[in-house]
Structure 1
Amino acid sequence: MLRTLNIPQEYITSSANFATLMHIDSQICASHVSSLHFRHSSTAPSQDLQVYHGQLTSQIRAVKLFSLTSSVGGIVALPILANEASRLDNVALVLGISTTLGVFTFLTPFMLHFITKKYVTELLYNPQTDKYTAIVYNFFLRRKLVTFHADQVTVPDVPGIFTTFKANGLALFVDPSLFKEPAHYARIMGYDKPLDYKLNKVTEDKGGTDK
């Protein structure tokens, strides 16, 4: 599997620039190979090794727990408040209270889940199976396991919001600085693979086609 790098034609025309690119790429690959000490032999322990821990895990858990608790309370209180507001004989006030409570009860949990569902709280690596397991929270704050091999990772050319890479088609977000071993991040992102230099050819319009 090759990494593709689009390079403008005018940049390659300079031999010095091209030599610099080749030198940088060789340094990246060499650095990655030298740091791959996590490739254990078949006698390695079978337990998963934690290679990443999300710094915002506790905060996300607390916010989602508060949101879900508030939603349950809102569902219970909504009929009571609607009944009390109806006695005021004020339609505008009833609609205002119902709308406000409905937003906090139903909309907020879905918005929080949309933002945080990609956040990887923990990333584990199994030396025997050579697979990673990303842990994220689902809507009901339960741990969801996403197991994948490094070859199953795709990195979008234009990453979406809160998306670092995709594993098995699922978008995931990680902070590169939080990896205990940077070599794992380099491997997942495909930095250990050779570059496939694609030159962007500039086509000039000569005002006609050659016959």
Structure 2
Amino acid sequence: MPYVLLKTGIGVNSLALQVAFCGVIGFFTFLTPVLLHLITKGYVVRLYHNKETDMYTAITYSALLVEKRTVFHQSDVVIPDVSRMFTSFYAKKRSMLVNPMLFPLPHDYNHLMGYDRPFSFDIDDLNKPDKS
């Protein structure tokens, strides 16, 4: 875009202003994809579940659009205490973002997040380690 603007005569004649203009346009041209990747790097594109071993495989994309696989067990899922904007859960210390509406069966999402585990309202049970 800076090249087109400079060749059409819309640009300015001062070299300093041309450099500043091209620098600002170039900065936002390269900064925007980097920021978008930092925000969405944990978005799970595909999620596979092996019922026999209760292992999940999450597919995300790297900055160069290379698929990255994260294999984790349901017990590795940690739900953050405070809701984060781009994090549904952590698996092996990696933040993951999933859309619960894209699960065909709600039970699958509940199992992934650990919502199907038995719970108690007793405060003493909170201090005990989970046996499941």
2-structure distance, mates of 1:130, 1:152: 11
| TM-score, normalised relative to structure 2 | 0.76
Corresponding residue for residue 103 of structure 1: 28
Residue 91 (structure 2) aligns with: 167
* SS of corresponding position for 1:140: coil
Gaps of 5+ in 2: 7-12, 124-132
Q: How many residues align?
A: 114
Quick one: which amino acid aligns to residue 192 of structure 1?
A: D
> Sequence identity, in percent?
39
Structure showing greater relative contact order (alpha-carbon pairs closer than 8 Å, 6 or more residues apart)? 1
Matched, 1:93 2:18: yes
* 1:198 to partner: Cα distance: 5.5
The offset of 1:99, in angstroms, is: 1.9
CA distance in 1, matches of 2:122, 2:42: 31
What does residue range 132-171 of structure 1 map to in structure 2 within 5 Å?
A: 132-171=56-95
Which secondary structure does the structure 1 equivalent of 2:95 belong to?
strand
SS of residue paired to 2:121: strand
Structure that is richer in helix per residue: 1
Taking structure 1 as the reference length, what is the TM-score of the superposition?
A: 0.49
* Over 4 Å off, 4+ runs: none
Structure 2: how far apart are the matches of 1:180 and 1:146? 21
Specify every segment of 5 or more residues in structure 1 that has no aligned partner in the other structure, as ranges. 1-73, 82-87, 200-211
Structure 2 match to 1:178: 102
Q: 1-side partners of 2:27 and 2:79: how far apart?
A: 38
Matches of residues 120-139 of structure 1 in structure 2 within 5 Å?
A: 120-139=44-63
Give the RMSD, CA atoms, in angstroms. Answer: 2.1
Bigger Rg over Cα: 1
